[in-house]
Amino acid sequence: MSDAKATNGNGATPLGLTKKDFASDQETRWCPGCGDYAILATVQQFLPELELPPERIVFVAGIGCAGRFAYYMNTYGVHGIHGRAPALATGLALARPDLSIWVVTGDGDALSIGGNHLIHALRRNVPIKILLFNNQIYGLTKGQYSPTSEEGKVTKSTPFGSLDHPFNPIALALGAEATFVARTVDTDRGHEADVLRAAAAHEGSAFIEIYQNCNVFNDGAFDAVRGKRGHDHQIRLEHGRPIRFGPEDSRGVIRDAEGRLRIAAVAEAGGESMLVHDAHDPNPSQAFALAHLAERPSGPTPIGVFRAADRPVYGASSGRQLEGAREGVGTDELDELLRSGDTWTVE
């Protein structure tokens, strides 16, 4: 992960910006104790490091509790319709490649009605950064099950328990060939800021799943990896380093005789057996296996950057294609083409 840019004693970067420069004058209104507050504070604290003025940054949001995010940022913002934030951001990225574009969405918004928009933005490698707040519930509409709710989940819309198998957002993004895929936790500000830095430095699309506690309708869903006691269950992925975790790094991830990943005690398996994380591997197979190491965040769970691979960025590719087309057609020929056939002049 990239190092933070230097700040002065007031937290300002060389451009002179601080967290306050990215906070709007709107009253922040989520349920008291919501994980969204922690995410908002971390993002606002991080943004000055981009060394971009607020008018060069855009937040595009969908529908849901996360949709309010754009109102609380002193940047340009778009509050789109349900599930369409990645599509809006794609158009914006193609029209204005000079902007830093961030999508804020929830598990319901992105993975239900917005599923197709999400996967196509990722496979195209559009230069946008997608923050998916995953609380495994529909919060704004008062507690219905979502595409990430576990099987058997009892909610207002599933009083006898959900029959749906949930999405694994990390595996879904990797399956869509996303070039940058990561996971972090709402209250772990240091780790979240590191992931944001890595995403911002990545050329192309970046997908970040953020475990976000909904203390009203799904409280405690991520307690195993959240808070001080959750650190022992966080399997922190760091490129080029053996995957170890727990007290004194006493546990780790190995590949067994059948080629599957599993958790083992270092004392029993041996330190040399620990899997070394390669986030830059162009083949996403190992990252995909890590995504399935913990189907639910109820025990040891990988967080950090699963994949950060290189691939041509969609906006740059389309720009080169357009320039090539323009070079192949002279100005006079293009003018003749535009005015051929039945045309009208409106005055």
pLDDT greater than 50 at residue 2: no
For 183, residues 6+ apart whose C-beta sits below 8 A from its C-beta are 170, 195, 208, 209, 210, 211, 302, 303, 304, 306
Query: How far is CA 40 from each of CA 34, 234, 270, 304, 312, rounded to the nearest angstrom?
Result: 11, 22, 41, 19, 31
pLDDT of residue 53: 96
This prediction has a pTM of: 0.89
* Predicted confidence (pLDDT) per residue in 203-239, tens digit: 999 999 999 999 999 999 999 999 888 899 999 999 9
C-alpha span between 193 and 22 (Å, rounded): 15
CA distance 53 to 35: 27
Q: pLDDT tens-digit profile of 235-279?
A: 999 999 999 999 999 999 999 999 999 999 999 999 999 999 999
Q: What percent of the chain has pLDDT over 70?
A: 93
CA–CA distance, 129 with 75 (Å, rounded to integer)? 15
Query: DSSP secondary structure string, 231-295?
Result: GGGEEEE-TTSB-EESGGG-EEEEE-TTS-EEEEEHHHH-GGGSPBP-TT-SSTHHHHHHHTS-S
User: Using a CB cutoff of 8 Å and minimum separation of 24, what contacts does 245-250 make?
Assistant: 245/300, 246/300
Domain boundaries, the chain: 19-241+277-310, 312-342
Q: Is the pLDDT of residue 8 over 60?
A: no
CA dist 218 and 155 (Å) reads: 10
Whose tokens are 């949001």? That residue is 61
Per residue in 133-181, pLDDT (tens digit) is 999 999 999 999 999 999 999 999 999 999 999 999 999 999 999 999 9
Closest CA to 57 of 12, 93, 6, 106: 93
* CATH of segment(s) 19-241+277-310: 3.40.50.970
Q: How far apart are CA 44 and CA 255, in angstroms?
A: 39
